[in-house]
Structure 1
Amino acid sequence: MKVQDPIPPLSWDSRRIQIQGFMAGLHQIEWLLVTLITLYLVIIGAPNERSLGLLLTTVTYFGFSLLASRLHFFGDRQRWLLAIHTWVMIGFISWFLHNTEGVSGPLTSLYLLAVVTSALTLGVLATMLQVVAIGACILLLFQLSGESLTEPANLSLLGINLIAYLIVGYLISTLVNGIEVSNRMLLEMASKDPLTGLFNRRAFNDLIKPIHAMSQRAQTPYSVVVIDMDGLKTINDTQGHGEGDRTIKALADQLKDHTRSSDLLARHGGDEFVIMLPDTDVSGAVKMLQRLITDPVDEVPPLSIGVACYPEHGDSFDVLFEQADQAMYVSKRLGGHRVHVTGKGETP
Structure 2
Amino acid sequence: MVDIAVLRHLLTESHCDPAVADATHTFLLEWGPYTEKGSKFSIYRLFREHIDPAWRELVQRNPRSLSTNIMELAWTKYTLSALQPGTIPGNDGDIVQGSNAEAVQLFTQRSRPKDWSALSTIAHHYRMDRLERFLFFVQRTSPSKHSQTLADQAVIETIDVLRHLAEACSLKLPKRRPDRRLTNRHQSSVCRFCGHPTEAADFHARGSEALRGLPDNTRLSAKYCSRHKSKGPTSPAMRLAYQRAKRSEGAFSAELKRLHSQSIGGHTATYARSGNPLVDEFIRMLVAQRKLHHEEQTTNEAVQSLDGPLHAEARKLVDWRMTDRKKEIVALLAQGLNQSQVAATLNTSRQAVSKALQAIPDEYRLNTLRMTTK
The TM-score, its normalising length taken from structure 1, stands at: 0.24
Which structure shows the higher strand fraction? 1
Larger of the two Rg values belongs to structure: 1
